[in-house]
Amino acid sequence: MVDQAVLEYTPDEDIRVHEEGAIRLLCRAFQSHENGLPEWFKNSSDAYAGINAGPDQRVVVLILSHGRGQQTSISCLDFVGMTSADIEGRFRIWADPEAAIRNGGAAAEVQGGHGNGGKCYMTQMFEDHAQLFTVRDGRANRYGVNAGSVRFGYVPNRERGRDFEVLDVDRQLDELLRALGCTLDALPDAARRALDLSRGFTLVTGQRPRGFDTGRLPVRRLTEQLQDHPQMIVTLELCRVYVLVNGAPFNADGRLELPAIPPMAGVDEPRVIPIPDTLVDASSGEEVSTTNRGALPPGSLSLRSSNVSMRWSRRGRHTVVYKAESGYIGYIPVPELDVQSAYRDRIYGECTLATLEPYKQNDRARLADAPLTRVVNQFLSEQVLAYARVFEERDRRHYNQEERTALERINDALDRWKNRFLNQMMRGMWGPGTITAPPPPPPLPVGVPARLELALGHSRAGIGVPLRPTLKFFDPDARRIRAVPFHFVSDDNNLAMVDEDLQVVNTFSPGNVRIHAETLDGRLRSNEVELEVVRVEEVRIDPQELELPVGTRHRLVAVCRLAGGEEANNVSLVWDENHPDVARVSTSGQVFGFAEGETQVYAGDDHCLSRDPAVVRVVAGDGRGPGETGRGRGYPRILISGVNQDPETDEDVNFTADDPPVAQRPEDYDRNIWWINSSAPLAKMFLDSNEYGYGSREWRMYHLERYTDVLVQIALTHGPEEQEAVSINDWILQWGFKAAEIQGAAAASLRDFIENGELPGE
């Protein structure tokens, strides 16, 4: 045994802390109403727990006031009350590790904390001020803080705001509520009864909440965020919470309740898993005790299921909540666990483990990073995945060999047709090709322009390089509309001149030039964009050699050495290739491979051409299209879940009815794999019903429509240039136009397949 070495030193008599800096650091987690407002309710719930209040007394009221000449405010009312001793001995203390237990009460009901969250919310999220008015035992205190400050104090001063007498509690509360556009009579009956039982209250109010400049509160969003926040689970279990808006109930009775989550069919009880005494850290291989070597009790994990996906509508509850000796100490969203299963989105739970207590953080959300928390989260991931596998197996459609063979044969034939079609379509998009040029997209609506928005793809260009500016027209409501007659204007035609016929800017000599657009009637003028025309001395293309599978693309970079010796890779140049049938290059250096072979790619301007061309060899592809990183570039692989296995792991792949008809897992993006979800409602109906089946015309139509979905996605993201940012309306128009085009081509070339099942290419 090694003796512990003790350092002999003289400790400083005081610990120096920059108070305001430390407090602002503590408050970083509460810079939103979503995370701050639950802190007030948690404090009210803990106050009730501290006095062991009965169920009838535990009432908390959210009071929202806005509009109708009323100053916007957010208030929280409970019926406990504080004395000046409570304020000075508990409330005003920051970072108190015992803040939640100083009142006593049942530990299981106390949510814990360090006394920071509610005060942080008061100091950060209100433009004017925040204050509490509290009454207990016939004495009142008014205590608050101005916006931007972290130093609380009595209002208006200690003499007048501390321990002043209140003879009529009801009248005092009614007076305060009227200033908030509410009244005592407007409170729910449960709140009136709680007031009668306690004869005290605490009303916390923040004036002019940040982020709502219109003076109106997004009431529904605030209440939904409050109701769904993991921090509110215990509060809503222990207290009755009501919402009043301008003195009226938010809904029928104003009450917020913890939404019930019906379980999946046949799974009424939670799955309870004991947490082993030791867990092994996967990264280090070391064992970590979960009981502090037997000093604390073992823990357990309780997992529950939801009958629908929690990904969106129940996102706030889609967590595993941590509980320890002091009760609720934090949570982790289930999507943050390492679980790859479609059924992950239907699972939530609760992890109770006493040894996690020291890892509670200021905001009681994620636990502090440590070997114990890492192995616990690893254990959670394993158990959630195991539970998801149970549902996968239960709901999996077991196709017989005949069905699998037939579906794979159909899918393989469509996959080959898809590659041929994509090759033709991409040729047409990149220049003259083998398919008919698509008709122009649907026109934008006609309107009176109020604003012009001009943009250039490059801020630098070589000499003799044409650039095409992008100009958008918007109406007074910021909706994009059809262009009206206009022209581009250069402020120095010696450097760059506009070709009025082609509407392009041609560069002539080095220097800085400004370009703008004007309507021909002179009424409107766009923003100015600056273009630097540079003298290029040398061009080097990177990479010099590129192997590109058919159907994929890759961006070449032109590295330019400028006249001053600077190297730059953001200069617009002219690009060209010598065998366009093999591959084509865009004006930004994007190369797309069409057919096996070799081509040379050049870049330059009127004064300088790349000394060595880039050699691009287009080789046969396997359908995956590695291309660029990102959301699958090139020809995709389209497979059927439940029928095909993962091509790399040979594992079965299954989705749920909640997932889209065409789905991708995170690991499928870079591999360019798409799945037709056989569990989607229509797919399941066509495949499982005796009336239809895999050989039916209805399934063939559905199967082909899912291919169309993928092809449209490829078409909208694989043109010569990256897709510009567009509004949702523009995107929908483009999607509809492209879908119609592809459906028309598919109907023309796959008529026999649709009508009688004759596979293309066989």
**Res. 625 pLDDT band, cuts 50 70 90:** very low
Mark residue 478 as left, alpha or beta (left: phi above 0; alpha: psi -120 to 50; beta: remaining).
left
Average pLDDT of the residues of the chain: 84
* Look-up of token digits 């015309």: 697
Q: What does the alpha-carbon distance between residue 505 and residue 655 come to, in Å, rounded to a whole number?
A: 51
* Look-up of token digits 């009864």: 193
Q: Mapped to the 3 state alphabet, what secondary structure does 514-559 carry?
A: EEEEEECCCCCECCCEEEEECCEEEEEEECCEEEEECCCEEECEEE
For residues 529 and 516, is the Cβ–Cβ distance under 8 A? yes
pLDDT of residue 733: 60
Q: Which fold has domain 19-256?
A: Heat Shock Protein 90 (3.30.565)
The two three-digit tokens of residue 198, written as one number: 């306690």
CATH classification of 536-619 is 2.60.40.10, yes or no? yes
Q: What does the alpha-carbon distance between residue 199 and residue 139 come to, in Å, rounded to a whole number?
A: 11
421-425: average pLDDT: 72
* Look-up of token digits 């069919």: 265
CA atoms within 13 A on the CB side of 559: 10
Name the percent of the chain lying above pLDDT 70: 88
The residues, any chain, with a CB within 8 Å of residue 39's CB and separated by 6 or more, are: 30, 113, 117, 118, 120, 121, 231
Other beta carbons within 10 Å of 477: 8
pLDDT digits (tens, 9 = 90+) for 573-591: 999 898 888 888 888 888 8
pLDDT of residue 166: 95
- Give the residue from 148, 130, 140 showing the smallest Cα distance to 39: 130
pLDDT of residue 438: 47
Q: What does the alpha-carbon distance between residue 78 and residue 44 come to, in Å, rounded to a whole number?
A: 6
CATH-assigned architecture of domain 451-533: Sandwich (2.60)
pLDDT of residue 621: 63
How does DSSP assign 153-210, residue by residue? EESS-HHHHSSEE-S-HHHHHHHHHHTTT--TTTS-HHHHHHHHHHS-EEEEEEESBT
pLDDT of residue 50: 86
pLDDT digits (tens, 9 = 90+) for 513-569: 999 999 888 889 999 999 999 999 999 999 999 988 877 778 899 999 998 888 888
Q: What does the alpha-carbon distance between residue 542 and residue 515 come to, in Å, rounded to a whole number?
A: 30
Confirm whether 19-256 and 536-619 share one CATH topology.
no
Strands (E), 529-636: 529-533, 536-542, 545-549, 553-555, 557-562, 567-568, 571-572, 574-577, 583-585, 590-593, 597-604, 614-619
The two three-digit tokens of residue 738, written as one number: 């492209």
CA atoms within 13 A on the CB side of 23: 20
Q: What angle do CA 152, 155, 160 make, to 5 degrees?
A: 135
pLDDT of residue 744: 79
Burial class (CB within 10 angstroms; exposed 0-12, middle 13-18, buried 19+) of 13: exposed
pLDDT of residue 244: 96
**Res. 628 pLDDT band, cuts 50 70 90:** very low
pLDDT digits (tens, 9 = 90+) for 132-160: 999 999 999 999 999 888 899 999 999 99
Q: What does the alpha-carbon distance between residue 575 and residue 582 come to, in Å, rounded to a whole number?
A: 15
30-42: average pLDDT: 88
- Give the residue from 495, 494, 497, 473 showing the smallest Cα distance to 483: 473
Q: What does the alpha-carbon distance between residue 482 and residue 183 come to, in Å, rounded to a whole number?
A: 54
199-213: average pLDDT: 91
pLDDT of residue 558: 92
SS3 593: strand
pLDDT of residue 175: 96
Q: Which residues of 152-187 are buried (b: 16+ CB within 10 A; e: fewer)?
A: bbbbeeeeebbbeebeebeebbbebbeebbbebebb
Residue 432 reports pLDDT greater than 70: no
pLDDT of residue 430: 59
Q: What does the alpha-carbon distance between residue 383 and residue 379 come to, in Å, rounded to a whole number?
A: 6
591-605: average pLDDT: 88
Q: What does the alpha-carbon distance between residue 321 and residue 323 come to, in Å, rounded to a whole number?
A: 7
Q: What does the alpha-carbon distance between residue 239 and residue 47 come to, in Å, rounded to a whole number?
A: 11
From 42-56, 104-118, 662-676, the region with the lowest mean pLDDT: 104-118
pLDDT digits (tens, 9 = 90+) for 634-662: 567 899 998 898 888 888 888 888 888 99
Q: What does the alpha-carbon distance between residue 453 and residue 444 come to, in Å, rounded to a whole number?
A: 16
Q: What does the alpha-carbon distance between residue 513 and residue 283 come to, in Å, rounded to a whole number?
A: 57
pLDDT digits (tens, 9 = 90+) for 679-702: 888 998 888 877 888 888 889 889
SS3 481: strand
Q: What does the domain layout of the chain look like in residue ranges?
A: 19-256, 271-395, 451-533, 536-619, 630-756
pLDDT digits (tens, 9 = 90+) for 94-134: 876 665 555 554 445 556 555 688 898 999 899 999 999 99
Other beta carbons within 10 Å of 716: 16
Q: What does the alpha-carbon distance between residue 337 and residue 517 come to, in Å, rounded to a whole number?
A: 51
The residues, any chain, with a CB within 8 Å of residue 5's CB and separated by 6 or more, are: none
